[in-house]
């Protein structure tokens, strides 16, 4: 088990549930736009939000943004240690730095002193695109060993300053290298790990990369907090992260939909039915999570071959026939409805599941 640190009121490591993070893509100096996006991310289920702090204007804006944020905020700092200090003084719940590009040891020590005084953790961030020249020269190129070595060098630097509230992050856009680097680092440190696949790309490609890269790590038991990195609206990162955690069985409050791929035996428009159910369940899933209700499995099956069996195994389900659907609840048949009523009927049954 990794050590535990706290980012605001969110525990990272120490056996805590894996937390979902994202990052705003607004101009941080624009307080109104940034606060709005933070609230949108929080509403989608994001637990920690990171903000770029590229200049002192952004660092100063951090104070007002923090006052209105419903979730803990991380200040993302590069190159200028003074920005890290300003962000801490303006309320950052955690800072993300790469000590290697902050400058001399005394500058890193200045940041550490501020973090200690504020009682906040530091995330050591190492990316394949920003490895130190000495590491690149040693290995001849970016490698998993090089990423892990760079991260550990930075961890040891902070530890030498008697600082232990550390979260470690090392990411690559290469899924295999990313996996291998995390396998190495997980054996070298007990500090909690922030996992992800950096610069994964557009949602269409990035979700596939993230499912493979992050999913493999989660199945190995590696990772204490995570971010899915997609080009575009960061809210989509959060939605996908929740789905990924649910499919792996880590999130226990989700609604899991099982649906068949359809074949020549299907005699209903199953795709339309499933899409309607899924759209209806997004807000319903949020309601159930807020009430502390456990997750459920919903099966939407297209024919009589696997349909009845799958539907009976699920908490709720429908097995479709010729223009009709047989509804199951807890393995028992409760009725038959016409195709046009399947989505609405099953959704309503799900809404009232705990009272059935």
Q: What is the CATH number of the domain that holds 278?
A: 3.30.413.10
Q: Are residues 196 and 292 in the same domain?
A: no
Q: Are residues 180 and 228 in the same domain?
A: yes
Question: How close are the terminal C-alpha atoms of the chain, in Å?
Answer: 39
What pLDDT does 356 receive? 47
Give CA 3 to chain center in angstroms: 20
Q: How confident is the model at residue 102 (pLDDT cuts 50, 70, 90)?
A: confident
CATH label of the domain that carries residue 115: 3.20.20.20
Q: Please state, in angstroms and rounded to a whole number, the distance separating the CA atoms of residues 82 and 89.
A: 11
Stretch 94-110: mean pLDDT, rounded?
A: 84
What pLDDT does 308 receive? 66
Q: Is the confidence at residue 42, as pLDDT, over 80? A: yes
Q: Are residues 39 and 160 in the same domain?
A: yes
Stretch 222-239: mean pLDDT, rounded?
A: 93
Long-range contacts of 283-291 (CB under 8 A, 24+ apart): 284/255, 284/347, 284/350, 284/351, 285/253, 285/254, 285/255, 286/45, 288/253, 288/255, 289/45, 289/253, 289/254
Q: Are residues 71 and 134 in the same domain?
A: yes
Question: Three-state DSSP class for 38?
Answer: helix
Q: Is the confidence at residue 101, as pLDDT, over 80? A: no
What pLDDT does 261 receive? 83
What pLDDT does 355 receive? 54
Is pLDDT larger for residue 163 or for residue 268?
A: 163
**Boundaries of domain holding 296:** 255-355
Stretch 271-292: mean pLDDT, rounded?
A: 79
Q: Are residues 339 and 260 in the same domain?
A: yes
**Among 222, 248, 274, where does a domain finish?**
248
Stretch 144-171: mean pLDDT, rounded?
A: 93
Maximum average pLDDT range among 137-141, 192-196, 331-335: 192-196
Q: How confident is the model at residue 320 (pLDDT cuts 50, 70, 90)?
A: confident
Q: Is the confidence at residue 307, as pLDDT, over 80? A: no
Q: Please state, in angstroms and rounded to a whole number, the distance separating the CA atoms of residues 147 and 130.
A: 10
The percentage of the chain sitting over the pLDDT mark of 90, rounded to a whole number, equals: 52
Stretch 212-228: mean pLDDT, rounded?
A: 95
What DSSP element (H or E) covers 310? helix 307-313
Q: Is the confidence at residue 314, as pLDDT, over 50? A: yes
Is pLDDT larger for residue 100 or for residue 207?
A: 207
Q: Are residues 217 and 345 in the same domain?
A: no
Q: Are residues 66 and 202 in the same domain?
A: yes
Q: Are residues 112 and 243 in the same domain?
A: yes
**pLDDT tens across 195-218, in order?**
998 877 788 888 999 999 999 999
Domains held by the chain: number: 2
Q: Is the confidence at residue 104, as pLDDT, over 90? A: no
Question: Which range has the worst mean pLDDT, 224-233, 264-273, 278-287, 317-326?
Answer: 278-287
Q: Are residues 121 and 166 in the same domain?
A: yes
Q: Are residues 230 and 102 in the same domain?
A: yes
Stretch 260-270: mean pLDDT, rounded?
A: 82
Q: Are residues 236 and 311 in the same domain?
A: no
Q: What is the mean pLDDT of the chain?
A: 88
**Among 248, 274, 308, where does a domain finish?**
248
Stretch 246-263: mean pLDDT, rounded?
A: 80
Query: Helix-strand-coil percent breakdown of the chain, rounded to 5?
Result: 45, 20, 35
**Among 205, 233, 248, where does a domain finish?**
248
Question: Which range has the worst mean pLDDT, 97-106, 119-128, 204-213?
Answer: 97-106
Q: Is the confidence at residue 148, as pLDDT, over 80? A: yes
Identify which of 83, 84, 174, 170 has the alpha carbon closest to the alpha carbon of residue 122.
84
Q: Is the confidence at residue 130, as pLDDT, over 80? A: no
Q: Are residues 137 and 228 in the same domain?
A: yes
């Amino acid at each position: 088990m990794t050590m535990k640190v706290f980012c605001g009121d969110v525990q990272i490591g120490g056996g805590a549930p894996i937390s979902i993070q994202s990052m705003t893509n607004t101009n941080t100096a624009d307080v109104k736009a940034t606060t709005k996006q933070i609230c949108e991310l929080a509403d989608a289920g994001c637990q920690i939000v990171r903000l770029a702090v590229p200049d002192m204007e952004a660092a100063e804006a951090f104070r007002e943004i923090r006052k209105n944020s419903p979730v803990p905020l991380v200040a993302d700092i590069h190159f200028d240690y003074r920005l890290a200090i300003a962000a801490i003084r303006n309320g950052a719940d955690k800072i993300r730095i790469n000590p290697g590009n902050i400058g001399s040891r005394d500058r890193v020590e200045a940041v550490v002193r501020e973090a200690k005084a504020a009682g906040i953790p530091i995330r050591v961030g190492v990316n394949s695109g920003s490895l130190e020249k000495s590491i690149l020269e040693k290995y001849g190129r970016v490698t998993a060993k090089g990423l892990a070595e760079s991260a550990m060098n930075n961890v040891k630097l902070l530890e030498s300053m008697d600082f232990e509230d550390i979260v470690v992050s090392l990411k690559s856009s290469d899924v295999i290298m990313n996996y291998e680097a995390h396998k190495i680092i997980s054996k070298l440190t007990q500090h909690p790990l922030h996992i992800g696949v950096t610069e994964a790309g557009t949602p269409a490609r990035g979700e596939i990369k993230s499912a493979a890269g992050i999913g493999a790590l989660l199945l190995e038991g590696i990772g204490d907090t995570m971010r899915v990195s997609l080009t575009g609206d960061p809210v989509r990162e959060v939605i996908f992260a929740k789905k990924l955690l649910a499919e792996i069985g880590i999130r226990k409050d989700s609604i899991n939909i099982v649906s068949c791929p359809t074949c020549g035996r299907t005699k209903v428009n199953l795709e339309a039915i499933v899409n309607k159910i899924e759209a209806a369940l997004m807000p319903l899933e949020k309601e159930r999570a807020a009430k502390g209700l456990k997750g459920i499995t919903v099966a939407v099956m297209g024919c009589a071959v696997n349909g009845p069996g799958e539907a009976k195994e699920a908490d709720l389900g429908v097995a479709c026939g010729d223009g009709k659907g047989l509804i199951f609840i807890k393995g028992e048949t409760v009725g038959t409805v016409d195709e046009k009523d399947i989505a609405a009927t099953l959704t309503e049954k799900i809404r009232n599941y705990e009272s059935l």
